[in-house]
Every structure is written in C-alpha cells, then in structure tokens.
C-alpha cells in the first residue's frame, strides 16, 4: 500500500469515529434536554400521608385543600399522637431524594427527616406544625 492510500484510509477512519462520537453526544444531549424540560404535571403524583401535628382543629383539611392544585396524591389524613410540632416537616418513609426535592419545590417545606418504613402507605408524610399558615397563605 502506498503512503497516500494509508493516509486516506486513516483520514476516513478518523472521520467515521468523529461522526459516531458526535451522534452519541447529540443523542445524550437530547435526552438530557428532554428530562430538563419535563413539567411537574408530566411526572407521576407523589403519594403522601398528611398528619396534623399542631393540635389545631381542621388544619389538615385546610392543608389538603391547599395541596389540591399540586402534583400530590394524599392517601391518608390523620392526627399525630401528640400535638407537639411547632414546625411543619416532611418525613421520608420510602421515597427517594429526587421526589423529596420535587415535593419541597411544590410545597416550599424545606425541613425534612428520614424515618424509613417500607410498609407505609405513601412515600412521604407531611406533619403539619404550628407554622402551617406560612405555607397555606402563599
């Protein structure tokens, strides 16, 4: 093989590799862009348990009404055993951190704790504290 033929073959191989890399990069970027442009309504609803932890009557019902236009599915409403909660908190039961961030964005409740319970009815529990008005007034 002459030197010019080897050079031509080498150039063709390099161009093919660059093209294949470009195609993979483009597909990866397009998938990332699709994931970034997903709106909350396109994602599945987050299942929550809503618990009145402040002791004020009717708060859970009002809080549930406030959550109505958000992408959450309230599977249960109840009352905490002891009304000792000053601050509203999200409890991670079996959910993941991605859904936690979504729930925090929707509700503006940043405080959370983990109390894993894989037999729970929902991924998260929101325990309503005495500060509930700062969330429901918005």
Among the residue ranges 25-34, 48-57, 97-106, 126-135, the one predicted with the least confidence is 25-34
36 has a pLDDT exceeding 80: no
Q: How many CB atoms lie within 10 A of CB 52?
A: 23
pLDDT on residue 61: 93
Degrees, nearest 5: CA angle 97-101-106? 145
Q: What is the pTM of this model?
A: 0.72
pLDDT on residue 71: 95
Q: Which residue has the higher pLDDT, 16 or 35?
A: 16
What is the C-alpha to C-alpha distance for residues 76 and 73, in angstroms, rounded to an integer? 9
110 has a pLDDT exceeding 90: yes
76 has a pLDDT exceeding 60: yes
Q: Is the dihedral of CA 62, 65, 69, 72 positive or negative?
A: positive
What is the C-alpha to C-alpha distance for residues 61 and 78, in angstroms, rounded to an integer? 10
* Domain chopping of the chain, boundaries: 1-37, 40-136
pLDDT on residue 78: 95
Whole-number average pLDDT of the chain: 90
The backbone region for 58, taken as left when phi is positive above 0, alpha when psi lies in -120 to 50, beta otherwise, is left
Degrees, nearest 5: CA angle 93-54-81? 60
Second CATH level (architecture) for the domain 40-136: 2-Layer Sandwich (3.30)
pLDDT on residue 3: 85
Written as six digits, the tokens of 26 are 């483009």
Percent helix, strand and coil across the chain, each rounded to 5? Answer: 45, 20, 35
Q: What is the mean pLDDT of residues 63-80?
A: 95
Q: What is the mean pLDDT of residues 69-76?
A: 96
Reduced to 3 states (helix: H, G, I; strand: E, B; else coil), residue 6 is helix
Q: What is the mean pLDDT of residues 61-90?
A: 95
Q: What is the mean pLDDT of residues 14-41?
A: 75
What is the C-alpha to C-alpha distance for residues 64 and 70, in angstroms, rounded to an integer? 10
């Amino acid at each position: 093989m002459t030197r010019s033929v080897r050079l031509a073959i080498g150039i063709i191989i390099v161009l093919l590799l660059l093209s294949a890399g470009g195609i993979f990069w483009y597909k990866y970027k397009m998938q990332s862009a699709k994931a970034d442009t997903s709106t909350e309504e396109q994602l599945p609803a987050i299942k929550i348990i809503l618990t009145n932890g402040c002791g004020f009557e009717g708060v859970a019902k009002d809080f549930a009404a406030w959550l109505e236009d958000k992408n959450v599915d309230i599977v249960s409403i109840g009352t905490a055993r002891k009304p000792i909660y000053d601050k509203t908190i999200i409890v991670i039961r079996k959910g993941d951190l991605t859904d936690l961030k979504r729930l925090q964005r929707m509700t503006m409740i940043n405080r959370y704790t983990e109390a894993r319970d894989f037999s729970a009815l929902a991924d998260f529990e929101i325990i309503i504290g005495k500060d509930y008005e700062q969330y429901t007034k918005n």
